[in-house]
Chains A and B, each alone.
Chain A
Amino acid sequence: MKMVSEAQRQHAEAMLEGAAPVIELLGVSRVYPSRSGVVHALNDASFTIGASEWVAITGPSGSGKSTLVNLLGCLDTPTAGTLRIDGTEVHTMGGGDLDRFRADKVGFIFQQFHLIPYLSALENVMLAQYFHSMTNESDARAALDRVGLSHRAEHLPSELSGGEQQRVCIARALINDPPILLADEPTGNLDAANQRIVAEILAELHANGHTIVMVTHDPEMAALAQRKIALSHGKVFCHPVSNVVKLSQ
């Protein structure tokens, strides 16, 4: 395995001086076995993401975005390298601990929303509480209120519009107060109006100090982030901290 170059490390650290890193990758690789040898889905990636940062991960299909989301979301472990999330070394954790850790640390926002069709909006939010610890209805209502959906709490997903479903999904991601929000193409399935609403909510969350890692194809959305991490053929290219665009406040 290739050693992490000193220059890369210094660059990453210098970039985030002052801010405590929430996510740290050091020479992380993920290799899949395939019929013709192995596939390097992610090759020697090193970067850090600081607390309260809003980072966009971009790249064409097959560049390793999904692999990276899997790793950052603790759905998968790297085959090599060090992955540290919120100060904990994830790559050494076993399955059970990882599930626990994921419930604590990561809130997912999906392109397809993935709401359970037979549970109401409120119950979908509470589902995350259920897997995390204890259900608490008033907290769940508060989370829905935060995304402006308190009046739709009792509705089933099929009775909600796409934008509303995505807001329920965001409320669900927020409910356990995770240090990281992992949004995988959050606006990929939405029209322009709803995309704006979701973008506003994300910006507001960012302003409130949430760390957001967002995978996106959409340059408009990527432009909202403070920083872009580009992926190409499993390689990571970090962009310098861009000028922060604030939509609200």
Chain B
Amino acid sequence: MFLRMLGESFVRQRRRKLLAGLAILLGTTAVTAMLALATTIGDRIHRELAVYGANITVYPKADTLDVKIGGQTLRPTTGGVYLHASDLEKLHGIFWANNITGLSPELDSSISLGKLDSVPPSPVPAAGFWFQHNFGDAKVKLITGATQLHPWWKLQGSAPQGSGQIVLGATLAKSLKVGIGDRLMVLGVSDVADPVTVTGILTTGDATEAKAIFELSTLQQYADLPDAVSRVDVSARTKPEDAFARKDPDTLSPKQRDLWYCRPYANSIAYQIREAIPGAAAEQVRQVEQSEGTILERISGLMWLVSAAAMLAAAVAVSAAMATAVLERRTEIGLMRSLGASKVRIASLFYSEAGLLALLGGIVGYGIGSLLAALLTARIFGEQSGITLRVAMAHAFNPALLPVVLGIALLVAIAGSTASIRSALRMDPSAVLRNNA
């Protein structure tokens, strides 16, 4: 009988602890997961927004004006100024170099193209791009190019790799009546004919469909424009624009200017690009940048507010559980009071129990919540965004969140048990004992 009673009481005691612990565990799990999601959502959505292409364009400070309607150049510019592809390496040196997530230089030109056996080749617009270009340096790995900056492009077949390979825009391929694997003759500026193989057909939904696409260096060779680039599309992680971002840095005081310079606004990154590349003009693409900013702000705002809701829910859940745990132990409190324990001692005992529970529940909840957030991220954003489960798991634990989450758990557990501890201490110990004898 005694053993049964002992066992029973042990089981009951464990259940009480378990209840409060479970509430803390679940609360911290939810809060950790939500905070982990909220802190990384900006990055994730930015990656998703990459679908809109570059948010900064770099072009040579022109002495001619583009005459383009609907992406189609109506009057080819002659004697244009070009940027130097070799200058792009300088982008590694700018303050926000690590925020550059994609880079796609483009060379616009025209070449003559025809079938091997047919009439003289006719001139067609041509564009040279990077494809899967390694733009990393010692610190970061970055494989980038036209397909990364234009995710909406549909490339049938494979990208051109070096000379002898060409990709045709869909409308061009149609008018030439050639398909993948066919061979064509390219006539460059230097009048050297070169046979090339069609490796792919590109659908873009815009004027690029009428162009012949080459690897950048190949076109530079054919067009006899060594190192030349007409424009560069840059995708960068930026901070949404605010009033300060719209300031002209040259009118700011040196201190303010430094502040402006050291914030990842599209404007300041563009400014740094202008500084780094001689003869370049860099502008934020307002359609992408402004609108992305809004969307990013809304979605991360939403996640933060939902996190706050989670926090509220967790706080109430934990408080309720802690209150329950204390209420159930009124007898114990009464007994301790009758044995002469001071209120302070009893309170400190209960508070330390609550704190211990909060720490334990908080640590486990942090672990589970982090994993859950990683799982959710991997599942939602998936492999096509480069977030495999393995990658997500590797970045699951954000050490900065641990103290935050533990602090919240401690605070809530202690605050939640305060009311019930106080009311339990106020009660007449003998009445409590008699009632529960």
Q: List A residues at the B interface (Cβ < 8 Å).
A: 61-62, 112, 117, 189
In the bound complex, do residue B437 and residue A61 qualify as a contact, i.e. CB atoms below 8 Å apart? Answer: no
Interfacial chain B residues near A62, Cβ < 8 Å: 1
- Tell me how far the C-beta of B11 lies from the nearest C-beta in chain A, rounded to whole angstroms: 13
- Tell me how far the C-beta of A187 lies from the nearest C-beta in chain B, rounded to whole angstroms: 15
Docked CA distance A62–B1 (Å): 6
- Tell me how far the C-beta of A29 lies from the nearest C-beta in chain B, rounded to whole angstroms: 18
In the bound complex, do residue B437 and residue A112 qualify as a contact, i.e. CB atoms below 8 Å apart? Answer: yes
Docked CA distance A113–B71 (Å): 91
Q: 1/0 per position for B402-437, CB-CB distance to A under 8 A?
A: 000000000000000000000000000000000101
Q: 1/0 per position for B1-42, CB-CB distance to A under 8 A?
A: 100000000000000000000000000000000000000000
- Tell me how far the C-beta of B428 lies from the nearest C-beta in chain A, rounded to whole angstroms: 12
Docked CA distance A117–B435 (Å): 10
Interfacial chain B residues near A61, Cβ < 8 Å: 1
A-B contact pairs, 5 of them (CB 8 A): A61-B1, A62-B1, A112-B437, A117-B435, A189-B437
Docked CA distance A98–B244 (Å): 80
- Tell me how far the C-beta of A126 lies from the nearest C-beta in chain B, rounded to whole angstroms: 22
Interfacial chain B residues near A189, Cβ < 8 Å: 437
CB-based nearest A residue for B431: A158
Docked CA distance A189–B437 (Å): 10
Docked CA distance A67–B307 (Å): 54
Interface size on B, residues (CB 8 A): 3
- Tell me how far the C-beta of A110 lies from the nearest C-beta in chain B, rounded to whole angstroms: 12
- Tell me how far the C-beta of B393 lies from the nearest C-beta in chain A, rounded to whole angstroms: 42
Docked CA distance A59–B435 (Å): 27
Interfacial chain B residues near A117, Cβ < 8 Å: 435
Docked CA distance A103–B437 (Å): 26
Interfacial chain A residues near B437, Cβ < 8 Å: 112, 189
The 5 A-B residue pairs whose C-beta atoms are closest, nearest first, are A62-B1, A61-B1, A112-B437, A189-B437, A117-B435
- Tell me how far the C-beta of A113 lies from the nearest C-beta in chain B, rounded to whole angstroms: 11
Docked CA distance A62–B435 (Å): 25
User: Which residues of B, 323-350, contact A by the 8 Å Cβ criterion?
Assistant: none
CB-based nearest B residue for A61: B1
Interfacial chain A residues near B1, Cβ < 8 Å: 61-62
Interfacial chain A residues near B435, Cβ < 8 Å: 117
CB-based nearest B residue for A157: B435
- Tell me how far the C-beta of B323 lies from the nearest C-beta in chain A, rounded to whole angstroms: 20
- Tell me how far the C-beta of B8 lies from the nearest C-beta in chain A, rounded to whole angstroms: 13
Docked CA distance A221–B292 (Å): 87
- Tell me how far the C-beta of A26 lies from the nearest C-beta in chain B, rounded to whole angstroms: 27
- Tell me how far the C-beta of A190 lies from the nearest C-beta in chain B, rounded to whole angstroms: 13
- Tell me how far the C-beta of A221 lies from the nearest C-beta in chain B, rounded to whole angstroms: 20
Docked CA distance A189–B435 (Å): 12
- Tell me how far the C-beta of B26 lies from the nearest C-beta in chain A, rounded to whole angstroms: 32
CB-based nearest B residue for A32: B4
Docked CA distance A117–B432 (Å): 13
CB-based nearest A residue for B7: A35
Q: 1/0 per position for B161-187, CB-CB distance to A under 8 A?
A: 000000000000000000000000000
- Tell me how far the C-beta of B260 lies from the nearest C-beta in chain A, rounded to whole angstroms: 68
CB-based nearest A residue for B436: A112
- Tell me how far the C-beta of B394 lies from the nearest C-beta in chain A, rounded to whole angstroms: 46
CB-based nearest B residue for A63: B1
Docked CA distance A112–B435 (Å): 9
Docked CA distance A189–B1 (Å): 21
Docked CA distance A112–B434 (Å): 10
CB-based nearest A residue for B437: A112
Docked CA distance A61–B437 (Å): 18
Docked CA distance A112–B1 (Å): 19
Q: 1/0 per position for B153-167, CB-CB distance to A under 8 A?
A: 000000000000000
Docked CA distance A113–B435 (Å): 11
Docked CA distance A62–B437 (Å): 20
CB-based nearest A residue for B4: A34
- Tell me how far the C-beta of A30 lies from the nearest C-beta in chain B, rounded to whole angstroms: 15
- Tell me how far the C-beta of B138 lies from the nearest C-beta in chain A, rounded to whole angstroms: 66
- Tell me how far the C-beta of A3 lies from the nearest C-beta in chain B, rounded to whole angstroms: 30
Docked CA distance A117–B434 (Å): 13
Docked CA distance A136–B1 (Å): 41
Docked CA distance A53–B435 (Å): 33
CB-based nearest B residue for A66: B1
Docked CA distance A61–B435 (Å): 23
Docked CA distance A165–B212 (Å): 100
Docked CA distance A41–B121 (Å): 106
Interfacial chain B residues near A112, Cβ < 8 Å: 437
- Tell me how far the C-beta of B433 lies from the nearest C-beta in chain A, rounded to whole angstroms: 13
Docked CA distance A165–B435 (Å): 12
- Tell me how far the C-beta of B221 lies from the nearest C-beta in chain A, rounded to whole angstroms: 86
Docked CA distance A106–B435 (Å): 26
- Tell me how far the C-beta of A59 lies from the nearest C-beta in chain B, rounded to whole angstroms: 13
